[in-house]
Amino acid sequence: MNSLARNLGGALYTVFLFNQHDIISTFGPAIVVGCVLAGIPDLRSLLQALVWQELHLLPFNIYGVEEDRISKPSRPLPAGRLTVQTAQRVYLVLIGLALWNSAAHGILPCSILYLVAMLVYNEGGLSNHWAMKSFLGSVGYMCYCWGMSVIFAHGQPLSRTSIIAVILSGLIFTTTGHAQDFRDRDGDMAIGRKTLAIVLPQTFARWSLTALILAWTVGLVYLWGPPTVVAAAFFGLATDYSQEADRVSYWWYNIWLIVAHVLPLFKRLADSRIEVPL
């Protein structure tokens, strides 16, 4: 029994090590989108959605050990908790489970789209090109939001507003997702990956990203019409970006991103004719 508990604890800790850099940047926005578009889920739906996302995120994180040796040395492969051979077997099993799980929830097309994007991103080498890296990353991001929302809604398809919100999530990530690349420059350069944080002059890269975030902030406030206090807070997060160290700035970027995904709630409430106090 003690041995079983230790093995289970070790396995859960290994999963945590794969995910620790994605809790705010990936799980946070996807959960927020699901709650905004489908409503607060019951515990069963929440757990089902988290399992679904984990089955898709883990295969993606297993790949890229050379980059992780520099940027994320605590992950299981560079840390020596898993061998490459074991990771390859786990990788294939997870892909099979992801497809089976999506079929059970009626979102198999979402899973297929995600896995195709993941394969060409990682094994196809397209992540080495800055434009394809951002675009394929946005496809994965949209799939997370899509799957989470449908599972939260007990299999109900996305509404028109929800589809717009998910597409906008992808566009936001396509144009601003390279915020994560500033903190990963050493690892990216080590594997020959060309990101905007590397190919552009540092000053221009940072200020252009800030300009894009401010432009999105203005556009999203206009589109979704949040209360004044929410809009003011959203602008505050946008103008606070890129003034500190890259890792701290990236944390603030993710908070901005999460708030950006909350804003469709106000359109949903307005369509339902529910008054929201200013």
User: Considering the domain boundaries, does residue 41 fall inside one?
Assistant: yes
Instruction: State which H helix or E strand residue 30 sits in.
Output: helix 28-38
What pLDDT sits at residue 174? 84
What pLDDT sits at residue 191? 63
Dmax over Cα atoms in the chain, in whole Å? 58
User: Considering the domain boundaries, does residue 278 fall inside one?
Assistant: no
| Residues of the chain under the 50 pLDDT cut | 241-244, 274-278
What pLDDT sits at residue 84? 78
User: Considering the domain boundaries, does residue 35 fall inside one?
Assistant: yes
Tokens coding 51: 């399992």
What pLDDT sits at residue 68? 65
What percent of the chain is helix, strand and coil (3-state, nearest 5)?
80, 0, 20
Number of domains in the chain: 1
User: Considering the domain boundaries, does residue 80 fall inside one?
Assistant: yes
What pLDDT sits at residue 42? 93
What pLDDT sits at residue 177? 74
| pTM for this model (two decimals) | 0.78
Rounded to an integer, what distance in angstroms lies between the CA atom of residue 84 and that of residue 88?
6
Alpha-carbon distances of 69 from 5, 60, 75, 171, 245, rounded to whole Å: 29, 16, 8, 30, 21
Domain that holds residue 192: 2-271
What pLDDT sits at residue 245? 53
H helix count then E strand count, the chain: 15, 0
Tokens coding 246: 């890259």
Contacts of the segment 245-254: beta carbons below 8 A, 24+ positions apart: 246/182, 246/183, 247/183, 249/179, 249/182, 250/25, 250/179, 250/180, 250/182, 250/183, 251/24, 253/176, 253/179, 253/180, 253/213, 254/24, 254/25, 254/28, 254/29
Question: Considering only CA atoms, which of 222, 226, 231 is closest in space to residue 269?
Answer: 226
User: Considering the domain boundaries, does residue 159 fall inside one?
Assistant: yes
DSSP line for 157-203: PPPHHHHHHHHHHHHHHHHHGGGGGGTTHHHHHHTT-B-HHHHS-HH
Angle CA(189)–CA(190)–CA(191) in degrees, nearest 5?
A: 90
Q: Tell me: the pLDDT tens digits for 105-138?
A: 999 999 999 999 999 988 877 777 777 778 888 8
What pLDDT sits at residue 202? 67
Torsion angle of alpha carbons 244, 249, 255, 259, nearest 10°? 90
User: Considering the domain boundaries, does residue 63 fall inside one?
Assistant: yes
